[in-house]
Amino acid sequence: MIDTERAGRYDRLEVETRHIKGPRSLAMGFLCTRTILTVVKEEMYLDKDNPDIMHNDVTTIDHAFTRPLTVSMMYRHVHNPIWTEFFCAEGNNHVIIGSDTYFLTRSTVDADPQGSTAAGFAKLQE
């Protein structure tokens, strides 16, 4: 992390995030507390033996855990990626689950005199 040559180059990036709004959960399904006391620390760096691998060590400190929770992830650099374009337009009512396509519908709930609507999914015919 020390820039001995004063070239403006460092070998890692450290990020600390605080004051995250709650409630929230982690990707692994762990629930965090509703307070804003959660601290997430990330340390990202390139592998010394293989610069095509980036490491990301994420430590979450939260009162819901008995000790800090650390997850280590590795990302591999793809030199000639093929980028595909995916549009996720606002108001898109199509949902694809596996090989089935569904369309989000709104139907009036008969029991509600105020005419509120309920959402549901209708499978599109093939």
Q: Which pTM value belongs to this model?
A: 0.57
Q: 74: closest CA among 99, 40, 105, 49?
A: 49
Which pLDDT does position 115 carry in this prediction?
47
pLDDT band at 91 (very low <50, low <70, confident <90, very high): low
Q: Which two tokens stand for residue 71?
A: 């997850």
Q: Tell me, what DSSP letter sits at residue 50?
A: -
Which pLDDT does position 27 carry in this prediction?
63
Quick check: 21 pLDDT over 50?
Answer: yes
How many Å apart are CA 43 and CA 40, to the nearest integer? 10
Which pLDDT does position 88 carry in this prediction?
65
Mean pLDDT for 99-109 is: 64
Which pLDDT does position 63 carry in this prediction?
81
Quick check: 117 pLDDT over 50?
Answer: no
